Structure 1
């Protein structure tokens, strides 16, 4: 029940950060990092 409430408070954008692990519990998935494009040439 608590995880469901937490997911609803996070909203649809961040609710998938909490992953259900069967027979273990829950874990947080890291946010994807935005990487700046590398400069071309050199």
Structure 2
């Protein structure tokens, strides 16, 4: 199921997001170091 949400970003956070410095790392009990990692990119 998809997740949705909103956030208010600082200018520095916005710059980092647009510069491709953000990612998501999914952790599970089976893989506490990270199951899968996904880069956030501008479309």
TM-score by length of 2: 0.23
User: Which structure has the greater CA radius of gyration?
Assistant: 1
**Bigger helix fraction:** 1
Q: TM-score, normalised by structure 1?
A: 0.23
